[in-house]
Structure 1
Amino acid sequence: MKKVLIVDDAVYMRLSLRDILERNGFEVIGDAVNGIDAINKYKMLIPDIVTMDITMPEMDGVKALQEIKKLDPNAKVVIISAMGQESIVREAIMNGAKGFIIKPFKEEKVIQSLSKI
């Protein structure tokens, strides 16, 4: 069972993702409300996969992705964001994201993307 850390500043989105993942055999071991929180929880929990929003207060998802990859070059981070602009997708992938899911998302898309990792 893959352990997942959910990072999103929206409570509804964290709860929605948790529900989808747990219903499909993933173990959600924690969640974080911004990039700084994500880095700290990554160090503590050492998840198999991180789902990362981009637009968050204090530290955005791309910066958090960069910092997590410095800590663990093998970290597996999937961006889940409403910001589907090509330049942001490209920046996230160039910084090591393993995938990009655009909100609003379908359950099948989330499970399919995370199962490939």
Structure 2
Amino acid sequence: MAKILVVDDAKFMRMTLKNILTNGEHDVIGEASNGKEAVELYKELAPDLVTMDITMPEMNGMDALNEIVASSDDARVIMCSAMGQQKMVVEAIEQGAKDFIVKPFDEARVLEAVARVLR
């Protein structure tokens, strides 16, 4: 059972992901609504995996990804993007993200990405 930090500025999206991950027998140990919170919680909770929204207030997902990857060699981050953010996704992968999932979330795809990244 993986310990996962869910990061999205939309409460509904966090709830949706949390439900998918919990159904997939993962443990959601924290939630953050912006990149700044994500970086703080990552350092505090040391999750096995982070799902990271790209577009958020205060600090976006790309900046948070950079800080998390810089702070931890074994950081595993899956970026979450809306359709049409392919350029951002490519950048995120280049900057250390392990995978990406597209909104609206498909339960099977989310769990498959999580399983692959945790392997």
TM-score (ref. length: structure 1): 0.96
Question: Residue type of the partner of 2:98?
Answer: K
Deviation digits for residues 64-83 of structure 1 (CA, Å, limit 9, x no counterpart): 00000111021000001215
Q: Unaligned regions of 5+ residues in structure 2, if any?
A: none
Deviation at 1:84, TM superposition (A): 3.7
Any conservation in 2 of the 1:84–1:102 contact (CA below 8 Å)?
no
Match in the other structure for 1:23: 23
CA distance in 2, matches of 1:86, 1:10: 20
CA distance in 2, matches of 1:34, 1:83: 20
Match in the other structure for 2:91: 91
SS at match of 2:55: coil
- How many pairs are equivalent? 117
Q: Unaligned regions of 5+ residues in structure 1, if any?
A: none
Report which stretch shifted further, 81-90 or 64-73.
81-90
Any conservation in 1 of the 2:81–2:89 contact (CA below 8 Å)?
no
What do you get for the CA RMSD once the two structures are aligned?
0.9
